Structure 1
Amino acid sequence: MTAGRFHPGPEHQEIVFLTGSGISARTGLGTFRGPQGLWALEPETERAMHAHLLPGTLPQLWSVWGRMARIATSHGPTPGHRAIARLGAPVITQNIDGLHQAAGSEIVAELHGSALFAVCLDPRCDWRAPLEPGEGEYPEDHGVPSSCPRCGAPTRPDVVLFDEQLPPDALDLAMRLAQRADLFVAVGTSGVVFPAAQLAPLARAHGATTVLVDIDPPPGSSALFDHVLAEDAHEVLPDWERRLHRVGGTSFLDPFLS
């Protein structure tokens, strides 16, 4: 880790972002790990995230992810999401809230799926449909049928549970983005969950400068990143965007600054 605040410059032509729950916390979604994280505050929710307990945990799964999707669509995107979109940078995200797409990002690798879509519980069936986040334990509460229209199996939120494989297309895209980056920026993520944890080292091995932006960086971050900024991403990223685009002022750029 080097001293002083890092800023990207014109030499950085291939900026790639890796984002975690920290970038969406301002919407009210919160984070997952730590003493104030979802797993600690709602241990029954953590239990519902294990794939081997399906289909018995489907009601709780719909309730949890429907609530999160509703919060995200009601209160996001954040200034961090918007700044990344204005930079035109590809995104690898561990989030399931769809806020990068809502902000305007065009290339988004969703490693953990999306709570804004429903899929069939049968992995052999490829039915997938957008949903309308609501409240309740049933798919109908979120605008989708409880039985797959194609095969009749139960439906579920399209999120990756514990013990499930990441979407291969998203993972392949993430690996390719990391390898082509000349600046790799992790935002609001602990960086300890694999396979996402291997992306910054992969980018560095291919010559990228690596940066972590996190208001509370986890211990040992300085060994993984060239620069660690213990600052608010919603201030750092809009500042980067203004510097790179040479734009003055903030109010018209960041309607979510409050």
Structure 2
Amino acid sequence: MRPTGRFSPGPEHQEIVFLTGSGISARTGLGTFRGPDGLWALEPETEEAMHAELLPGSLPQLWSVWGRMAQIAAEHGPTPGHRAIARLGAPVITQNIDGLHQAAGSEVVAELHGSALHAVCLDPDCRWRDHLVPGTGPRPEDHGVPAACPRCGAPTRPDVVLFDEMLPPDALELGMRLAQRADLFVAVGTSGTVFPAAQLAPLAKAHGATTVLVDVAPPLDPSLRAAFDHVIAEDAHEVLPDWERSLHHVGGTSFLDPF
């Protein structure tokens, strides 16, 4: 039986796809980026360092910021929302760089903004990439990677997309393909204002999907809400586990949900 009072998926939804933003990870302590309580407002110097044109001078701050975020994610682990999505077996398009979907068990994850759990070479023509060990500090060595690329000798950097940089083409292509094949497209914890991610819900809707926004504080702007057939102004960490239990015909709260 489906939960009453709000939309929930049913057996007719065979291709559920999720788009997630920082809201789904906020419970770990990572917080969100936009708004009066967001990282950009509280730490304007961090926002300034996110501009690609400031490289390589901004590298120490980037290592400090993203290393700290990766460490918080690693210490706190996935939220109930992440775990519910993984148990649903649904592919994910995410704007997050924290790796929590993979940690929860999701197998298909398109990371539109890169990964704070990886380092890459500053030279865009060099393909070196490696895992890092999240830590604190302004040096790549503080995060378990060398300061100089082992292949070409250029500086290394966190593998996150900065302002004025292109999104990873493979991730963007995968995200668009997933949106087009979805019969249910669910956006969770995202502002809906950042492109190209903001175009994915309209793309899914144009291809026949039912579109749903789950956010504890969804936007009031009618133009942002217009892309969604249903807007659920509730906590995704309650809504998504409810969906998963309903679809899998189980009751109670999973012992896997520690929050």
Alignment TM class, shorter chain as reference: over 0.9
d(CA) in 2 for partners of 1:106 and 1:252?
21
Deviation at 1:142, TM superposition (A): 0.2
SS of residue in 2 equivalent to 1:5: coil
d(CA) in 1 for partners of 2:254 and 2:96?
27
**Structure 2: which amino acid aligns with 1:248?**
G
SS of residue in 1 equivalent to 2:212: strand
Deviation at 1:252, TM superposition (A): 2.0
Could you tell me which residue of structure 2 aligns to residue 224 of structure 1? 227
Q: Does 1:157 align with 2:158?
A: yes
Could you tell me which residue of structure 1 aligns to residue 247 of structure 2? 244
Deviation at 1:195, TM superposition (A): 0.2
Q: Deviations over 1:31-79 (max 9, x none)?
A: 0000000000000000000000000000000000000000001002000
Flag structure 1 segments of 5+ consecutive residues without an equivalent. none
**Structure 2: which amino acid aligns with 1:117?**
H
d(CA) in 2 for partners of 1:92 and 1:86?
16
Q: Deviations over 1:172-219 (max 9, x none)?
A: 000000000000000000011000000000000000000000000012
d(CA) in 1 for partners of 2:251 and 2:160?
39
Cα RMSD after superposing both structures:
1.0
1:144–1:253 CA distance, 2 compared to 1 (3 A)? closer
Deviation at 1:4, TM superposition (A): 4.2
Residues 112-131 of structure 1 mapped to structure 2, 5 A cutoff? 112-131=113-132
d(CA) in 1 for partners of 2:219 and 2:48?
25
d(CA) in 2 for partners of 1:222 and 1:109?
24
Could you tell me which residue of structure 1 aligns to residue 87 of structure 2? 86
d(CA) in 1 for partners of 2:133 and 2:256?
28
d(CA) in 2 for partners of 1:251 and 1:243?
13
Could you tell me which residue of structure 2 aligns to residue 147 of structure 1? 148
TM-score scaled by length of structure 2: 0.97
d(CA) in 2 for partners of 1:219 and 1:117?
36
Deviation at 1:223, TM superposition (A): 1.5
Q: Does 1:40 align with 2:58?
A: no
d(CA) in 2 for partners of 1:148 and 1:242?
46
SS of residue in 2 equivalent to 1:174: helix
SS of residue in 1 equivalent to 2:191: coil
d(CA) in 2 for partners of 1:188 and 1:90?
16
